[in-house]
Amino acid sequence: MELKKFVDALPIPSFITPKESYQGAPLYEVSMIETLHKFHRDLPKTKVWGYNGQVPGPTFNVEKNQPIYVRWTNHLPLKHFLPVDKTIHGAHHNPEVRTVVHLHGSPSEPDSDGHPEAWFTRNFQQTGPHFMKEIYHYPNTERAANLWYHDHALGITRLNVYAGLAGLYFVRDEQERTLPLPKGKYEVPLMIQDKTFNPDGSLFYPAQPDNPSPNLPYPSIVPSFLGDTITVNGKVWPFLNVEPRKYRFRLLNASNSRTYKFQLSNLRPFYLIGTDGGLLTRPIKVESLDVSPAERIDIVVDFSRLGGQKIVLQDGFELENPTGEIMEFRVSKSLSCPDQSKVPLLLSRIEPLRVNKVRKIRRITLNDSQDEYGRLMLLFDDKEWMDPATETPLLNSIEIWELVNLTPGIHPIHVHLVNFRVLDRYDKDGRLLIPLPADYGLKDTVLVAGGETVRIIMKFQPFSGDYVWHCHRLEHEDHDMMRPLKIIPFHSSNHSNSNRHQTDM
């Protein structure tokens, strides 16, 4: 089915408000509901799963250091409407429909982090081995930043997120508010996902790889998923009418596997002002940005000299294909008031992590393997999810992780609880590479290209306990590119220094 581009206006997800208070803080209620959603003018309403019945879910707008509580509830059917492979970790011997919510980028306590085995079914009738409570606590101690929340259930994350379980979460602070950046209706969120639709308009997700071997189970997980249409805020190829002035766009790549090269069709430069963990120290003028799944970018685009023009947000990797276009900006509105916004030369201060304070360096390989059916399986250090934890940093310690990608593909690596800095990148021959623009910011997800080694530095705080780290290509995360992360209290006698790829500094 060929869908006409730029016929639907870009929707802006609504804000959620708390229903009551709980332990002295606002309590939000969010239900996961099966509903119908209209992705395009020429498509019928399509079955989806949405937080509070919305795709994307409602947007949280919270203040730094003002904690909130959220009660996440599952009101979904007992059967999934997408193909569930029950041979992969977490999916066999467990209910077919399970959910758990991870607030991506949040320094949450372990029991509010959305551990993949803290899943629960409809009305909490069944729960996973890590399930602890129904109400999650978010302290909101991070810098002003664009976080997002999404499903994280073991073995079916790729299906649940694709079905619609994702939403935005903004942390605000006074320092950011004092900057003369575009605000209000001139700050626009853009959640970008690729989808494919069946001829009847329903969501398509492959039940097995192309050219499957005879011994594969059915359904069978695929090594990656790339849709043939692009949605923004839940609409296929939308347009946005803008004034001839500066706009701030908060972009999230919420796709399962697709990495984008965001650029404008007129190839005009724009400013990168922030990344996963909030504002950069200084803006960076760019013409394009490579953004892998789960990464966020905060940009300012100036339309002031483009009155009457149409500019398309493009994916520079896909210019020869329909998916090379993402959405259209129409500079068609009159200037409602003078544009007083600016991109200041100094945006924020990012506290450095000192290399001479590093306690350990860990060298971790990203490698190909095969499962019992001969399917491609991506791993860290040849270890699977159920192998004992090997990443066991001490609370408040600083570590450097060397991520050595021995595979040909991109892997966006996400570490729960912490923000990190990118130290450097090297090619497969050990030559130093030019940093990506996003490398200059605080990150919780880093793009590691095929053959690259990327070094990141991070401090494991403020909580100890059981977390995870993983590739954020969701098909890889589900099979089996995810590992436990156990943060040990400093006084613990259980800490071991026997990890194979650890080096004391």
The two beta strands, 246-253 and 187-195, are parallel
> How far, in Å, are 182, 253, 301, 335 from residue 186 at the CA level?
5, 20, 10, 12
pLDDT tops 50 at residue 308: yes
Across residues 292-318, what is the average pLDDT?
98
> How far, in Å, are 4, 309, 337 from residue 331 at the CA level?
20, 5, 15
The two beta strands, 465-471 and 482-487, are antiparallel
Residues 155 and 189 in one domain: no
pLDDT tops 60 at residue 494: no
Domain membership flag for residue 153: yes
Domain extent at residue 33: 20-173
Given phi > 0 = left and psi -120 to 50 = alpha, else beta, which region is 259? beta
pLDDT tops 70 at residue 37: yes
Q: Give the count of alpha carbons within 13 A of 196, CB side only.
A: 10
Total tally of structural domains belonging to the chain: 3
* pLDDT in the model for residue 182: 98
What is the C-alpha separation between 386 and 371, in angstroms, rounded?
Answer: 14
Give the tens place of pLDDT for each residue, 388-446.
999 999 999 999 999 999 999 999 999 999 999 999 999 999 999 999 999 999 999 99
What is the C-alpha separation between 194 and 216, in angstroms, rounded?
Answer: 26
Q: Band of the pLDDT at 326, cuts 50, 70, 90?
A: very high
Question: What is the side-by-side strand order in the sheet with 270-275?
Answer: 235-236, 229-232, 187-195, 246-253, 296-302, 270-275, 278-286
Please count the other Cβ atoms lying within 10 Å of the Cβ belonging to residue 46.
20
Domain membership flag for residue 48: yes
Token pair belonging to 381: 């250090």
Q: Band of the pLDDT at 153, cuts 50, 70, 90?
A: very high
Domain membership flag for residue 368: yes
Q: Band of the pLDDT at 376, cuts 50, 70, 90?
A: very high
Residues 464 and 489 in one domain: yes
Domain membership flag for residue 7: no
pLDDT tops 90 at residue 498: no
* pLDDT in the model for residue 211: 87
pLDDT tops 60 at residue 327: yes
pLDDT tops 70 at residue 495: no
- Angle among Cα 225, 229, 230 to the nearest 5 degrees reads 95
What is the C-alpha separation between 79 and 121, in angstroms, rounded?
Answer: 11
Q: Which of 330, 347, 364 is the last residue of a domain?
A: 330
Please count the other Cβ atoms lying within 10 Å of the Cβ belonging to residue 28.
22
Of 200, 229, 124, 111, which Cα lies nearest the Cα of 465?
111
Residues 323 and 361 in one domain: no
> How far, in Å, are 58, 71, 72, 285 from residue 138 at the CA level?
16, 11, 13, 34
Please count the other Cβ atoms lying within 10 Å of the Cβ belonging to residue 452.
18
Share of the chain above pLDDT 70, in %: 97
Domain membership flag for residue 401: yes
Q: Which of 125, 148, 173 is the last residue of a domain?
A: 173
CATH number for the domain including 304?
A: 2.60.40.420
Mean pLDDT of the chain: 96
97 neighbors 121 (Cβ within 8 angstroms): yes
Share of the chain above pLDDT 90, in %: 95
Domain membership flag for residue 12: no
Residues 94 and 40 in one domain: yes
First to last CA, the chain: 58
What is the C-alpha separation between 222 and 159, in angstroms, rounded?
Answer: 11
Domain membership flag for residue 285: yes
Residues 306 and 391 in one domain: no
Give the tens place of pLDDT for each residue, 430-447.
999 999 999 999 999 999
> How far, in Å, are 206, 221, 294, 469, 481 from residue 377 at the CA level?
17, 10, 21, 17, 8
70 neighbors 17 (Cβ within 8 angstroms): no
Backbone angles phi, psi at 195, to 5 degrees: -140, 160
Token pair belonging to 314: 């493009």
Q: Which residues contact 27 (CB under 8 A, 6 or more apart)?
A: 18, 19, 20, 21, 68, 69, 70, 71, 135
**How many angstroms from the chain centroid is the CA of residue 384?**
22
* pLDDT in the model for residue 479: 97
**How many angstroms from the chain centroid is the CA of residue 362?**
24
SS3 at position 80: coil
Give the tens place of pLDDT for each residue, 80-139.
999 999 999 999 999 999 999 999 999 999 999 999 999 999 999 999 999 999 999 999
Residues 303 and 425 in one domain: no
Residues 390 and 471 in one domain: yes
* pLDDT in the model for residue 500: 39
Across residues 153-180, what is the average pLDDT?
98
Q: Band of the pLDDT at 490, cuts 50, 70, 90?
A: confident
37 neighbors 48 (Cβ within 8 angstroms): yes
What is the C-alpha separation between 442 and 299, in angstroms, rounded?
Answer: 15
Q: Band of the pLDDT at 502, cuts 50, 70, 90?
A: very low
Residues 156 and 196 in one domain: no
Q: Report CA torsion sign: 15, 115, 438, 10.
A: negative
153 neighbors 101 (Cβ within 8 angstroms): no
Q: Band of the pLDDT at 162, cuts 50, 70, 90?
A: very high
Residues 111 and 228 in one domain: no
Amino acid (1-letter code) at residue 100? V
Q: Band of the pLDDT at 213, cuts 50, 70, 90?
A: confident
Residues 43 and 116 in one domain: yes
* pLDDT in the model for residue 243: 98
SS3 at position 324: helix
Residues 143 and 218 in one domain: no
Token pair belonging to 87: 């041979």
Domain membership flag for residue 336: no
Give kind and range of the element (H or E) at residue 280: strand 278-286
Residues 274 and 383 in one domain: no
Q: Which of 330, 364, 391 is the last residue of a domain?
A: 330
* pLDDT in the model for residue 503: 41
